Amino acid sequence: HKLEVEKMLKKAMKKDKAKVSTGRISQFGLLQLSRQRLGPPIQRGSYVVCQHCQGSGMVRSLETTALAHLRKIQTKAIKKTTSRIKCRFPLAVAQYLLNRKRAEIVALENKYKVVIEIEAEPDMTPAQAEISLENGA
């Protein structure tokens, strides 16, 4: 009866608008069927992307986030036209940079002749940050 079942299944699947691929019934009585997905996943309408991890399921540690921002500041400080770098970071990130990386910030200011201002913003999420440049004359 295996062939009859396979024929009936293929006949029923012809009505489906999606592309369907069926295999044969194995010796264990299993049949593999693949079907193209036509619509968006149900989760898209029911869930929103996490504002902290952007859907990755992982949030950077405080140290990793702060060091990533410090590298961005350094990249912007290297530009010869930059005279001031204004930064707005989440409270914990700003505190980490000001308390634990102050020596590195002062070194950047001295090396590149730039003023680096770091402002703590309690309402920012860990993934948010604003870095703006002022050019010297």
Distance CA 80, CA 71 (A): 16
Tokens of 44: 């898209």
Distance CA 25, CA 98 (A): 66
Q: Which helix (H) or strand (E) holds 82?
A: strand 82-90
- pLDDT tens-place string over residues 94-112: 999 999 999 999 999 999 9
- pLDDT tens-place string over residues 39-96: 777 777 778 888 778 778 888 899 999 999 999 999 999 988 889 999 999 999 999 9
Q: What is the CA radius of gyration of the chain?
A: 28
Burial code of 21-47, b = ≥16 C-beta within 10 A, e = fewer? eeeebeeeeeeeeeeeeeeeeeeeeee
Tokens of 70: 């410090």
Tokens of 113: 């002749």
In 3D space, the residue among 72, 122, 136 whose CA is nearest the CA of residue 101 turns out to be: 72
pTM over 0.85: no
In 3D space, the residue among 113, 116, 127 whose CA is nearest the CA of residue 73 turns out to be: 116
